[in-house]
Structure 1
Amino acid sequence: MDALAGLLDGPRARGAFLLRMVMAPPWSVRVDDRAPLCLMCVSRGEAWIVPDGGGAPVRLRPGDTALARGPAPYTVCGDPGTPPQALIGPGGTCHTLHGEPLEQSMRLGVRTWGNAHDGPDSLLVGTYRMESEVSRRLLDALPPLLHLPADSWTCPLTPVLEDEISRDAPGQSVVLDRVLDLLLIAAVRAWFARPDAAAPAWYLAMGDPVVGAALRLLQNEPAHPWTVASLAARTGVSRAALARRFTELVGEPPMAYLTGWRLTLGADLLRETDRTVEWIARRVGYGGAFAFSAAFKRVRGVSPQEYRSAYAGKLPDRHGSSPSAAPASTLSP
């Protein structure tokens, strides 16, 4: 697992809301579902995304891809001057602005929704419903609205998703989840490759032969009793050289990065499992619950139990998972 794979593991598309939207003008849909991330691709016609708060509307043409980072609402429309006719709420609910349900009346087939079967505007929409502490590190590195014009990147995955989305074969949801994840990864990599993207330090540091290797070790083996000396020995450089170069490229010393990574993984396990604090502590590299709790409260301002209580009712049981729950991390059993 490298840094991008690890950070994408949180929002991966298990339980994502995925559909094709087919519309005839005039059309306008306000999205206020509070989802952490939504990916949109225009396959035919065009669409506009109008952010709340006065942001400039973004026009999407065929082959364009956009990522909208929640929870701020936005409007997707055929023309920025068209007032919203439908409202998408949490969980993918859809109704008019007066509260009348639209789910059935606008259903056009398998994973297809809109106001006309032969509408000239067609979008593929994938909404990631769950946000983990791990994925937040990625989401915070993205702009509120990311736009990749078709002429700025080459991605063969959109036609695959377009072809698969209306099928209803066995295992189809798994196929769609995987394709959506690949499309998201490709889009994020293409965005970070742009000179104006301000890619985060951890992403850029992965390209360094020494620091990249150290980051992979820390991410893959967070429970290992790392020291700067042992990490330097594994990467083949001196302790001083590693500490200096790691801090220079990542923006914090190796052990500070490791502490943040361990607590991030621990927070996801608190949210998404009912494992004991002792078990979680040892799973992410602490000697016991006391040491983990002290570090957690020092950094996050609340105890692990208080943090978990804030998400009560969202946790899977020991032998299963809630329908909308995403895996906590690659450390999940």
Structure 2
Amino acid sequence: MDPLTDLVRAPRALDAFLLRVVMAPPWSVRVQDEAPLTVLALTGGAATLTPDGGPALDLMAGDVVLVRGPGPYVVADRAGTEPQALIHPGGRCETPDGTSLELPMRQGVRSWGNAGDGPDTMLVGTYERAGEVGARLLGALPSTVLLRPGPDRSPLLTALVDVLATEVVAEEPGQAGLLDRLLDALVVAACREWSASTAGVPAWLGGDDPLVRAALALLHEEPARPWTVASLAGAVGLSRAALARRFADAVGEPPMGYLTGWRLAVAADRLRDTDETVAAVSRAVGYTSPFTFSTAFKRVYGTGPLAWRRAEARVLAAG
């Protein structure tokens, strides 16, 4: 297990919304769906992506963009075009005056847009929830990651976009599962390419210290193990002092502080997504006492595990 695997598992492509978008200028879509992560791959034409309060990104065919939510943004043929469609949470789409666009913009199997053969085409994959694990890891990414084609581009990234463009409009047995996996693979390939070409990337994604990466992988793989700084340092071949210093420099917090946050994030998602007892969840993330676990959980999340579970259940039931 490694943190990048956890990043993809946390948002879960099983909850993702994947579309081929086809547009003819002038066009503009304001996205305010509060999604934690969106992937856009421009497969033809051009577009501009403008985050609220941020600079516009001019996109060309071949560009891949990761957009970290939940902030809104506008995708348009060019900067300044007034939005003609609003995307709300859950993928609900309407005009600015509230008229539904679900049927008028449908262009076939997993295709959406204002024209069946418009010149501006893109693939859009939206992860609708990330959970506490995903939020913790996504928080280390910038608000947008733009990857342009070029001599250093990973062949895998290009190949995945090509395969997704073909498969998104197909209807074959197992198609939904195939698209989920291809979308996850595209996120991994995009994160890899960004980390390989960017200085100062988060340690969990790459970073400059392989021994810190190894320590992070161990914490992610075995969060329930009774780790100490000394035992973690020994596992990666460093002294206790050296690991503590290098880990804090690379990650921004001490090893045991990171482990506590990681354990509680994993626990919060298990409380929401399973019917395990609080005692079972506490053991699964390394707490021998449910009372100690509940105290730590309330300190971070402001409420106890059972209250958290009930509140999250109400949120999920509401939509």
Q: TM-score, normalised by structure 1?
A: 0.87
Structure 1 residues 265 and 100: CA distance shift in structure 2, 3 A: same
Cα drift, residue 213 of structure 1? 2.7
- Match in the other structure for 1:330: none
Offset at 1:188?
1.5
In the other structure, the counterpart of 2:44 is: 44
Deviations 1:294-321 (A, max 9, x none): 11122333222232233123569xxxxx
1:200 to 202, 208, 211: 202
CA distance in 2, matches of 1:27, 1:249: 43
Other structure's SS at 1:81 match = coil
List aligned pairs for 1:11-160, cutoff 5 A. Answer: 11-53=11-53, 55-151=54-150, 153-154=153-154, 155=157, 156-160=159-163
Contact residue 8 and residue 138 of structure 1 kept, 8 A: no
- Does the 8 Å CA contact 2:12/2:130 hold for their aligned counterparts? no
**Cα–Cα, structure 1 residues 224 and 21, in superposed 2: closer, same or farther, change >3 Å?**
same
Aligned to 1:218: 219
Which 5+ residue runs of structure 1 have no aligned equivalent? Answer: 317-321, 325-333
**In 2, Cα distance between equivalents of 1:271 and 1:60:** 38
8 Å contact kept, 2:278–2:290 = yes
Shift of 1:69: 1.7
| AA partner of residue 199 (structure 1) | V
Q: Please name the residue that 1:6 is paired with.
A: 6
Alpha-carbon deviation of 1:40? Answer: 0.5
Which residue identity does 1:24 align to in structure 2? A
Query: C-alpha deviations, 1:229-251, integer Å up to 9, x for none?
Result: 33334334444443344334333
Q: How does 1:227-306 map to 2 (within 5 A)?
A: 227-306=228-307
Distance 1:249 1:50 in 2: 31
3-state SS in 2 of match to 1:150: coil
State the alpha-carbon separation in 2 of the partners of residues 159 and 137 from structure 1.
31
1:259-285: CA deviations, max 9, x gaps? 121111111112222322111101111
Structure 2 SS opposite 1:83: coil
Instruction: State the AA in 2 paired with 1:166.
Output: V
Q: Distance in 2 between matches of 1:176 and 1:215?
A: 29
Kindly indicate which of the two structures has a greater share of residues assigned to helix: 2
Task: Return the letter of the residue paired with 1:290.
Answer: F
Task: Give the Cα–Cα distance (whole angstroms) in 1 for the partners of residues 50 and 217 of structure 2.
Answer: 38
Give the letter aligned to residue 181 of structure 1: D
Change (3 A) 1:277 1:148: same
Secondary structure of the corresponding residue to residue 243 of structure 1: helix
Instruction: Indicate how the Cα distance of structure 1 residues 206 and 299 shifts in structure 2: closer, same or farther if over 3 A, else same.
Output: farther
Once residues 75 and 123 of structure 2 are traced to their aligned partners in structure 1, the CA distance between those partners, rounded to angstroms, is 12
SS of corresponding position for 2:14:
coil
CA contact (8 A) 1:40 1:65 kept: yes
Q: Which residue identity does 2:195 align to in structure 1?
A: F
Q: Which residue in the other structure is 1:329 paired with?
A: none
SS at match of 1:143: coil
- C-alpha distance in 2, partners of 1:15/1:153? 28
Structure 2: 5+ residue runs without aligned partners?
Answer: none
Alpha-carbon offset, residue 5 of structure 1: 1.2
Cα shift at 1:91: 0.9
What is the TM-score of this pair, normalised by structure 2?
0.91
- What is the aligned-residue identity percentage? 54
For the 8 Å contact 1:7–1:138, the answer to whether it is kept is yes
Question: Once structures 1 and 2 are overlaid, which stretch shifts more, 240-249 or 220-229?
Answer: 240-249
RMSD of aligned residue pairs (Cα, Å):
2.2
Q: How far apart, in 2, do the equivalents of 1:262 and 1:178 lie?
A: 26
One-letter amino acid of the structure 2 residue matched with residue 118 of structure 1: D
